Chain A
Amino acid sequence: MSELVLSAWSVVSPYGVGSDPFSEGIGAGRSAVDALDREAWPGPFDRCGLVPDFTAAKYVGKKGTRTMDRVTAIAVTAVGRLLASCGDELTARPEQVGLVLGTGSGSVQSIMDFTRDSLAGERPYHVDPACFPNTVMNRAAGQSAIWHGIKGPNTTVAGGWLTGLLALSYAVRLHRGGHCARVLCGAAEEYSTQRAWLEWHGRGADEQSTPLGEGGAVFLMETAADAHAAGRAPLARILATRFGAYAERADAQQALADCVRSAVRRAGVAPEDIRLVAPLGADGKLGALEESGITDALGAAKPEWIRCRPLLGDTSAASTSLQLAAVLATAGESGLGPGEAALVTGIDRDGTVGCAVLGGADPS
């Protein structure tokens, strides 16, 4: 069986739309968190990692986007740019292309706006029917498929901060199960006033002031053979994904260390081969436990650390997908080198941990 690789990616991030500004920003370690226009974005935060000047009309087009919400527009844009970068051959057999997209809880803004119309309107059914599909959590994935004609399996995945890693793992299984030949896989998250209030009230004290961010990243997953046949050089091999859970917060470090050790072992790489590490990096105690867990697992290895959270803000469900994109951005245009490996990790507040190990492209 030919190995699964990531062979293309696209990103919409607080640095702007596209992988170039993202790669430049991550490379320079420049924060994209900026002051919020408080008139346009009321709510508890005054700083945010917002995708600059992003609207559906501007990036998706004026036609058909009147009721498209922000997270859907981010997803449609990211998927569209990925497809455009790969050429028409990719979707020549659209039923053989799957789409796996991570989400937090869809667009909580769309959901809550709809309920607000029902509660505050003259009649409880005075809602906009065209906005109803926005309130269903598969909207971004489904609309991306409709917009771009992707007819294979279309799955939405949610799992807090680990969403991107879970989507990756799900996509690998979907491919191995023979459900499609190629998978577009990633996650998207929007900034909205309602998401901001939910986070503000729901967060622990040690992370309450962390600015939110938004964005999305989508990757093309295919076999190395298919990538080569299409003239795409694999950027990274997907060597292992691994997940675990902890009951008490104090156990999070151990849970992640076990998870990383297991993944590295399954990946068949040595800890010192890990060149890049992209942790979730939550503020407060969890972030510290995460770093310690990684260090415990990797021992004397001295990898380069890519810390996205201070640069992008808390991008919630898009976090681990953007970390993965940051690894590919740092690896450069030819991807991870032979013998090199990279690690993406996350610890979620709800008691779960996860990681992925990527390997350099096989030189043969």
Chain B
Amino acid sequence: MVYDSDHGPRRVVITGLGAVTSIGLGVTAFLDGLRSGRSGVKPITAFDTTGFAHANGCEVTDFDPAEWIHRVDPAELGRASQFSVAAARMAVEDAGMDLEEFRRRPALVSVGTTDAESRDLDTLVGVQLEDGPEKLPPVMARRAQAGRLSSGIVRELGLTDVEALTIPTACAAGNYAIGSGYDAIREGDVDVALCGGADAVCRKTFTGFYRLGTIAPEVCQPFDKDRKGILTGEGAGILLMESLESAQARGARIYAEVLGYGLNCDAHHPVAPDQDSLARCMEVAHRNAGVKPEDIDFISAHGTGTRANDVTEAGAIRQVFDAPPPTISIKSMIGHSMGAASALASAACALALTEGFIPPTINHRETDPECGLDCVPNEARATELNVVQNNALAFAGNNAVLILGRYREAE
């Protein structure tokens, strides 16, 4: 990598979106779901839920990998990698970029995740208990690794001039991955980037959250007085990003501009978020993006629907914003898709900027006065937007805040 000091940092835009979600496959279905406030909740089928008092989740139920994955044998990819690869295919098609042209360009592939192929690891534990560790199926043992979420995209698209990494920074990983693509394009290292996140529902993570008492029995109600926790979800969101010059040269539709992002670490507690530190992360992001709090038209919150997250996040927002803008959580619709969560939320923000609406927070009855935010309850709100903020928090206090702006042609 060589910093191109002659030209200065490049502007970075989003021109393609791929979405695998419990409320729809592909950008059109996802947009429709966001606009209409669709719910992806249903009983979990990924594993035997016998013995749990309740086990709702937000699974992707209509996904056929063969529909999206053509060059790689889908059996060589675990479910999270299949989601990741399918969403990447969708993003490239949505961007209208010819694959041959894509292959000629230096590229970054960066995919965030919480669990990677832990669903396969669950299955392998089951095999061990039944038949012993000598009997593990080789193809599954081989594919059950985090690197495949990004290398799978490389193989499927036949890329050669590419840097591919997986970013397993848990539930904030999508924003981390998008940030890495933003920096790589901005600094002139690559021309194009496929970035986002992917995860698949698994027993391990459901059980962990259940044990912590943070799984909602029925639905996810961020910022509601009676919220009862998260619902585990799954899917993938992949964004095709390129430099503004590249997008303009090929006459691409531009969803949004990536204005900047901020990362920090509470360095405090493994699972409990820290309000001051999260507030600091938002300030870092604003500074990096060159915006002020009053510029932000709405916040896509981490908004998991747990008591601790929502009240801490709302507190941090009020700390940074004199008058907090509308603050919503799409987890009310698609559950907590873990590593995919902030990637899908970023895609939702890009769509919101383009289409001029704020997605709703569904399942909402009465706002918790301790949160005290306008969460755009139940119905999407049409409005012109210029700058939006996407929050993400992860275990270990890994925060990531992304700022997107509407791109306007020069007058």
- Interface 1/0 per residue, B265-283 and A, CB below 8 Å: 1111111000001001000
Q: Which residues on the B side are within 8 Å of A58 (C-beta)?
A: none
Q: Which 5 pairs of residues, A with B, have the shortest CB-CB distance?
A: A142-B396, A137-B168, A202-B142, A153-B263, A132-B208
Give Cα distance in the complex from A151 to B3, angstroms.
27
Residues A145 and B117 in contact in the complex (CB < 8 Å), given A135-B208, A240-B2, A350-B151: no
A-B pairs with beta carbons under 8 Å apart, 19 shown: A1-B3, A98-B263, A105-B144, A124-B49, A129-B208, A129-B211, A150-B267, A153-B265, A154-B264, A159-B165, A166-B163, A166-B165, A173-B189, A241-B1, A245-B151, A245-B162, A247-B160, A348-B147, A350-B147
Q: Which residues on the B side are within 8 Å of A201 (C-beta)?
A: 136-138, 141-142
Give Cα distance in the complex from A105 to B166, angstroms.
10
Select which of A155, A158, A169, A244 is within 8 A of B146 by beta carbon: A158
**A120 and B129 form a contact (CB under 8 A):** yes
Within 8 A of B (CB), among A197-245: 197-198, 200-203, 240-245
* Shortest CB distance A17–B (Å): 23
Q: Which residues on the B side are within 8 Å of A114 (C-beta)?
A: 204, 207-208
**A176 and B396 form a contact (CB under 8 A):** no
Q: Which residues on the B side are within 8 Å of A242 (C-beta)?
A: 1
Give Cα distance in the complex from A201 to B269, angstroms.
37
Q: 5 more A-B contacts (CB under 8 A) besides A1-B5, A135-B208? A: A105-B144, A115-B125, A138-B169, A146-B266, A151-B267
Select which of A99, A111, A173, A266 is within 8 A of B183 by beta carbon: A173
Residues A156 and B168 in contact in the complex (CB < 8 Å), given A95-B264, A99-B265: yes
**B266 and A151 form a contact (CB under 8 A):** yes
- Flag whether A324 is at the interface (Cβ < 8 A): no
**A178 and B396 form a contact (CB under 8 A):** no
Select which of B158, B161, B179 is within 8 A of A247 by beta carbon: B158
Select which of A137, A149, A247, A255 is within 8 A of B114 by beta carbon: A137
- Flag whether B61 is at the interface (Cβ < 8 A): no
Residues A142 and B138 in contact in the complex (CB < 8 Å), given A124-B52, A158-B165, A266-B1: no
**B183 and A174 form a contact (CB under 8 A):** yes
**B268 and A146 form a contact (CB under 8 A):** yes
* Shortest CB distance B148–A (Å): 7
Select which of B122, B151, B186 is within 8 A of A159 by beta carbon: B151
- Flag whether B232 is at the interface (Cβ < 8 A): no
- Flag whether A123 is at the interface (Cβ < 8 A): yes
Number of interface residues of B (CB under 8 A): 88
CB-nearest residue of chain B relative to A99?
A: B265
- Flag whether A157 is at the interface (Cβ < 8 A): yes
Residues A119 and B125 in contact in the complex (CB < 8 Å), given A137-B116, A145-B396, A197-B141: yes
Q: Which residues on the B side are within 8 Å of A44 (C-beta)?
A: 134
- Flag whether A160 is at the interface (Cβ < 8 A): yes
**B124 and A112 form a contact (CB under 8 A):** yes
**B145 and A111 form a contact (CB under 8 A):** no
- Interface 1/0 per residue, B187-229 and A, CB below 8 Å: 1010000000000000111011111100000000000000000
- Interface 1/0 per residue, B293-307 and A, CB below 8 Å: 000000000000000
* Shortest CB distance A186–B (Å): 15
Q: Which residues on the B side are within 8 Å of A47 (C-beta)?
A: none
Give Cα distance in the complex from A118 to B52, angstroms.
11
CB-nearest residue of chain B relative to A142?
A: B396
**A133 and B395 form a contact (CB under 8 A):** yes
**A118 and B207 form a contact (CB under 8 A):** yes
* Shortest CB distance B279–A (Å): 12
**A138 and B170 form a contact (CB under 8 A):** yes
**B263 and A170 form a contact (CB under 8 A):** no
**A125 and B163 form a contact (CB under 8 A):** no
* Shortest CB distance B7–A (Å): 14
CB-nearest residue of chain B relative to A120?
A: B129
- Flag whether B121 is at the interface (Cβ < 8 A): yes
**B162 and A124 form a contact (CB under 8 A):** no
Give Cα distance in the complex from A354 to B1, angstroms.
12
Q: Which residues on the A side are within 8 Å of B280 (C-beta)?
A: 95
**B208 and A138 form a contact (CB under 8 A):** no
Give Cα distance in the complex from A339 to B396, angstroms.
42
Give Cα distance in the complex from A148 to B126, angstroms.
37
Residues A179 and B263 in contact in the complex (CB < 8 Å), given A156-B168, A159-B151: yes
Within 8 A of B (CB), among A239-295: 240-247, 255, 266
- Flag whether B159 is at the interface (Cβ < 8 A): yes
Give Cα distance in the complex from A152 to B182, angstroms.
18
Residues A105 and B126 in contact in the complex (CB < 8 Å), given A133-B395, A152-B265, A153-B265: no
**A136 and B164 form a contact (CB under 8 A):** no
* Shortest CB distance B310–A (Å): 20
**B264 and A151 form a contact (CB under 8 A):** yes
* Shortest CB distance B59–A (Å): 18
* Shortest CB distance B126–A (Å): 6
CB-nearest residue of chain A relative to B205?
A: A135
- Interface 1/0 per residue, B223-264 and A, CB below 8 Å: 000000000000000000000000000000000000000111
Q: Which residues on the B side are within 8 Å of A133 (C-beta)?
A: 270-271, 395-396
- Interface 1/0 per residue, B1-33 and A, CB below 8 Å: 111010000000000000000000000000000
- Flag whether A352 is at the interface (Cβ < 8 A): yes
Within 8 A of A (CB), among B52-83: 52
Q: Which residues on the B side are within 8 Å of A352 (C-beta)?
A: 151, 154, 162, 164
Residues A135 and B183 in contact in the complex (CB < 8 Å), given A350-B147, A351-B154: no
- Flag whether B398 is at the interface (Cβ < 8 A): yes
- Interface 1/0 per residue, A102-125 and B, CB below 8 Å: 011110100110111011100111
Q: Which residues on the A side are within 8 Å of B184 (C-beta)?
A: 173
Give Cα distance in the complex from A160 to B166, angstroms.
9
Give Cα distance in the complex from A120 to B129, angstroms.
8
* Shortest CB distance A220–B (Å): 17
**A159 and B203 form a contact (CB under 8 A):** no
Q: Which residues on the A side are within 8 Å of B162 (C-beta)?
A: 243-245, 352
Residues A116 and B129 in contact in the complex (CB < 8 Å), given A132-B208, A173-B189: yes
Select which of B114, B154, B266 is within 8 A of A245 by beta carbon: B154
Select which of B113, B118, B170, B173 is within 8 A of A111 by beta carbon: B118
- Flag whether A87 is at the interface (Cβ < 8 A): no
* Shortest CB distance B333–A (Å): 24
**A159 and B150 form a contact (CB under 8 A):** yes
Residues A170 and B267 in contact in the complex (CB < 8 Å), given A351-B155, A352-B154: no
Q: Which residues on the B side are within 8 Å of A112 (C-beta)?
A: 121, 124-125, 128
- Flag whether A177 is at the interface (Cβ < 8 A): yes
**A142 and B265 form a contact (CB under 8 A):** yes
CB-nearest residue of chain B relative to A147?
A: B267
- Flag whether B51 is at the interface (Cβ < 8 A): yes
**A157 and B396 form a contact (CB under 8 A):** no
- Flag whether A90 is at the interface (Cβ < 8 A): no
**B208 and A157 form a contact (CB under 8 A):** no
